[in-house]
Amino acid sequence: MQVEADQNLIIYFNGQYMRLGEAKVGILTHALHYGTGVFEGVRGHWNDSQQQLYVLRAPEHYERWKRNCGILRITVPLSPQQLTDITLELMRRNRFETNVYVRPLAYKCSERIGVAPDDQDAHAIIAMPFGEYLHSANGLHAGVSSWRRIDDNAIPARGKICGAYANSALATDEARHSGFDEAILLNENGHVAEGATCNLFMVRDRRLITPPVSDNVLEGITRNCIMQLARHEMRLEVVERSIDRSELLVCDEAFFTGTAVGLAPVVRINHRPVRDGAVGPITHGMQQLYTDAVHGRVSFYRDWLTPVYDAQHPHEPEVALAGTAG
Ligand code: PMP
């Protein structure tokens, strides 16, 4: 799904709340030319019966963001808790009562020619209404890309570094033009790494298998949620090990995970059905568990969630639309 953002959205940019349409960057911005930014993706899920918007594992996302910024020596001068508070404030100021995607972005902002980074950093958080990223209800058709996953010694995949997403863009472009819904990238060793924007799991003999973090994958937070749910709720053995390309063609089930995609079943890979080509029982069970957990319907996993609205922060607050962050 491609989302055109409303220019009137209230966003957070370098310490200020402002309209999206007012947040401008210069044409010589370092990150625009050299990819020297680090981003995140965070989800909010709307629970209609509880009239509540739940933000999923926000402190963990901000902790990852700050650490990844450290790879490029970008400073975000706020703690994960402060960043979480800003995120909640954005949701309230925008009066969101729907599923939401949040995009934190930090980048090298000096405006000049020359690749050497300096200490000028900028950061923004943009939250917007966001539905399904991939239409996956009936399962996706994935294709193994001719592009390789970028290597840790070139640009670390775990870093969510803006420039690294040229790799994902190339693979996605190729996949879509070849009639696939999503790409699967192999790493330079020829092992399965991940999707262009999501982690990959397969099921073989009731074991859930996913590549280890040392196989050039993003250390996905959804991946971590799924591993916890699989172990504790489904009593499945979860194995992190390298996956051969041909295992994709003989596995029982496969699915992608990610903040944007959630848990998306894969029912065909390179024109071959995964097993019988229908969404398998483990995938289906995991999808239901995950959906329930992120919507606040499973008390055990409530500590993954931060509610946006409460008695002090009701649904239609009388707040200034823009201004300095408190
Ligand atoms: N791999 C890549 C390349 C991604 O861009 C993402 C999305 N952040 C993921 C995996 C999934 O990570 P997470 O579950 O933390 O969103």
Model confidence pLDDT, tens digit, residues 202-223: 999 999 999 999 999 999 999 9
Residue nearest ligand 1's atom 5 by CA = 197
Residue nearest ligand 1's atom 11 by CA = 258
Residue type, 91: M
Region 146-152: mean pLDDT is 98
| Contacts with 229 (C-beta within 8 Å, 6 or more apart), sequence order | 286, 289, 290, 293, 301
Mutation to probe ligand 1, out of 158, 192, 197 (largest number of atoms < 8 A from CB): 197
175 and 83 in a common domain? no
Helices (H), the chain: 30-34, 58-71, 80-93, 165-177, 221-232, 281-294
Mutation to probe ligand 1, out of 134, 148, 172, 259 (largest number of atoms < 8 A from CB): 259
Q: Residue 326: pLDDT band by 50, 70, 90 thresholds?
A: very low
| 61 three-state secondary structure | helix
155 within a domain of the structure (yes/no): yes
Query: What's the rounded Cα separation, in Å, for the pair 5 and 261?
Result: 18
Ligand 1 atom nearest residue 199's Cα: 10
290 and 211 in a common domain? yes
Give Cα separations from 36 to 169, 190, 262, 282, 304 (angstroms).
16, 28, 27, 40, 30
294 and 180 in a common domain? yes
Query: What's the rounded Cα separation, in Å, for the pair 290 and 298?
Result: 9
Q: Largest Cα–Cα distance of the chain, in whole Å? A: 58
Q: Which of 79, 98, 131 corresponds to the end of one domain?
A: 131
Mutation to probe ligand 1, out of 64, 147, 198 (largest number of atoms < 8 A from CB): 198
CB of 115 within 8 A of CB of 34? yes
278 and 190 in a common domain? yes
pLDDT number for residue 1:
56
| Residue 326: count of CB within 10 angstroms of its CB | 7
Query: In the predicted model, is pLDDT for residue 321 greater than 60?
Result: no
Query: In the predicted model, is pLDDT for residue 325 greater than 70?
Result: no
Q: Tell me the CA–centroid distance for residue 256 and ligand 1, in Å.
A: 10
2 within a domain of the structure (yes/no): no
Per-residue pLDDT tens over the stretch 76-109: 999 999 999 999 999 999 999 999 999 999 999 9
Q: Tell me the CA–centroid distance for residue 114 and ligand 1, in Å.
A: 30
Q: Tell me the CA–centroid distance for residue 212 and ligand 1, in Å.
A: 14
174 and 67 in a common domain? no
Q: Tell me the CA–centroid distance for residue 259 and ligand 1, in Å.
A: 6
> Can you give the pTM of this predicted structure?
0.95
311 within a domain of the structure (yes/no): no
68 within a domain of the structure (yes/no): yes
Ligand 1 atom nearest residue 61's Cα: 15
| Encoded tokens for 204 | 């073989």
Active-site positions?
160
Residues touching ligand 1 (Cβ under 6 Å) are: 41, 168, 194, 197-199, 218, 220-223, 257-259
| Strand partners for 143 | 183
| Residue appearing with tokens 């999923």 | 56
319 within a domain of the structure (yes/no): no
312 within a domain of the structure (yes/no): no
116 and 36 in a common domain? yes
145 and 294 in a common domain? yes
320 within a domain of the structure (yes/no): no
Query: In the predicted model, is pLDDT for residue 45 greater than 50?
Result: yes
Residue nearest ligand 1's atom 9 by CA = 198
161 and 253 in a common domain? yes
Ligand 1 atom nearest residue 222's Cα: 14
Q: Tell me the CA–centroid distance for residue 311 and ligand 1, in Å.
A: 34
Region 119-126: mean pLDDT is 97
Q: Tell me the CA–centroid distance for residue 258 and ligand 1, in Å.
A: 5
| Encoded tokens for 203 | 């099921």
Query: What's the rounded Cα separation, in Å, for the pair 181 and 176?
Result: 6
207 within a domain of the structure (yes/no): yes
Query: In the predicted model, is pLDDT for residue 311 greater than 80?
Result: yes
| Contacts with 143 (C-beta within 8 Å, 6 or more apart), sequence order | 175, 178, 179, 180, 182, 183, 184, 269, 270
Q: Which of 131, 161, 185 corresponds to the end of one domain?
A: 131
Per-residue pLDDT tens over the stretch 248-261: 999 999 999 999 99
Residue nearest ligand 1's atom 10 by CA = 198
281 and 199 in a common domain? yes
Q: Which of 114, 131, 148 corresponds to the end of one domain?
A: 131
User: Which domain range does residue 113 map to?
Assistant: 10-131
How many structural domains does the chain have? 2
295 and 278 in a common domain? yes
51-75 per-residue burial string, b: 16 or more CB within 10 A, e: under 16? ebbbbbbbebbbbbbbebbeebebe
Give Cα separations from 301 to 267, 270, 298 (angstroms).
28, 36, 6
Q: Closest by alpha carbon to 223, among 157, 298, 141? A: 157
CB of 46 within 8 A of CB of 309? no
Q: What CATH number does the domain containing 192 carry? A: 3.20.10.10
146 and 294 in a common domain? yes
149 and 258 in a common domain? yes
Q: What percentage of the chain has pLDDT greater than the value 90?
A: 91
Q: What CATH number does the domain containing 15 carry? A: 3.30.470.10
Ligand 1 atom nearest residue 259's Cα: 16
